[in-house]
């Protein structure tokens, strides 16, 4: 199983980090060991002073896909969830400035939060490009997005990624975050909601 994460897929978030719209999808990976156990708290690593939440729609791949055309990409999934792509922003900034890969800032243990369960897309209205989602931090909504605002659709992302990496059953795609990312602190509680349904609650330590 591999976890593919898309960067800068919402114009408002790309702008808040000072980036241009990408000309093609940008992706990186997290290892399986990054997945946070649903019963465990998220522990901020001691080597970062600025750990950010990024709430994202997550798509679960259900078949082998290699060079899949966008018009057939919908056959690769039927369930979705929500996740947090935790990011050590200070570390990412340093690595980027040095021209190095960002892996350390993105792939660490616990950095991939997932929904308690997958939800069939048809139970959410059936259109993957019209799903509302939000992240609450200590009872206040800090990120609120809709998949219709993606720069590249889920099907375009699958088509693009599958030109480089064969997608396999169980692979996950984190599809990018909308604006509103920010730091977490010990004692925070984060709750994710997809189409009004609670997906996860994470306690930060
Ligand atoms: Zn992200």
- For 108-162, how does the pLDDT look when each residue is reduced to its tens digit (9 = 90+)? 999 999 999 999 999 999 999 999 999 999 999 999 999 999 999 999 999 999 9
C-alpha 11 to ligand 1 mean position (Å): 13
Going along the chain from its start, the domains and CATH numbers come out as 3-203 (3.90.850.10)
Written as six digits, the tokens of 6 are: 């898309």
pLDDT 10s digits, 63-103: 999 999 999 999 999 999 999 999 999 999 999 999 999 99
CA of 28 to the centre of ligand 1 (A): 9
The residues, ordered by sequence, that sit 6+ positions from 37 with a Cβ below 8 Å of its Cβ are none
- Give residue 105 CA to ligand 1 midpoint distance, Å: 11
| Residue 125 alpha carbon to ligand 1 centre in Å | 24
Distance 20 CA to ligand 1 centre (A): 16
Q: What is the pTM of this model?
A: 0.96
Residue 75 CA to residue 69 CA, distance in Å, equals 11
**C-alpha 85 – ligand 1 centre gap (Å):** 5
Q: Is the dihedral of CA 173, 156, 79, 87 positive or negative?
A: positive
Around ion ligand 1, which residues have CB less than 5 A away? 54, 85, 177
How many Å is the Cα radius of gyration of the chain? 16
Burial class (CB in 10 A: 0-12, 13-18, 19+), 182: middle
For residue 120, how far is its CA from the centre of ligand 1 (angstroms)?
A: 22
pLDDT in tens, 178-191: 999 999 999 999 99
Under 8 Å CB-to-CB from 191, ≥6 apart: which residues? Answer: 135, 136, 198, 200, 201, 202
């Amino acid at each position: 199983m591999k976890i593919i994460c898309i960067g800068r897929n919402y114009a408002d978030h790309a702008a808040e980090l000072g980036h241009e719209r990408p000309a093609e999808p940008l992706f990186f990976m997290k290892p399986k060991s990054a997945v946070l156990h649903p019963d465990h708290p998220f522990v901020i690593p001691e080597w970062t002073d600025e750990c950010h939440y990024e709430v994202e729609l997550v798509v679960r791949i259900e078949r082998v896909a290699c060079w899949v055309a966008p018009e057939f990409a919908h056959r690769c999934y039927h369930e979705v969830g929500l996740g947090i792509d935790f990011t050590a922003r200070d570390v990412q900034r340093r690595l980027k400035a040095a021209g190095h890969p960002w892996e350390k800032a993105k792939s660490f243990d616990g950095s991939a939060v997932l929904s308690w369960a997958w939800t069939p897309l048809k139970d959410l209205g059936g259109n993957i490009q019209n799903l509302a989602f939000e992240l609450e931090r200590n009872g206040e909504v800090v990120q609120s997005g809709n998949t219709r605002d993606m720069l590249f659709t889920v099907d375009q992302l699958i088509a693009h990624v599958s030109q480089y990496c064969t997608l396999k059953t169980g692979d996950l795609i984190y599809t990018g975050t909308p604006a509103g990312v920010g730091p977490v602190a010990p004692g925070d509680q984060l709750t994710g909601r997809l189409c009004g349904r609670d997906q996860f609650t994470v306690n930060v330590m």
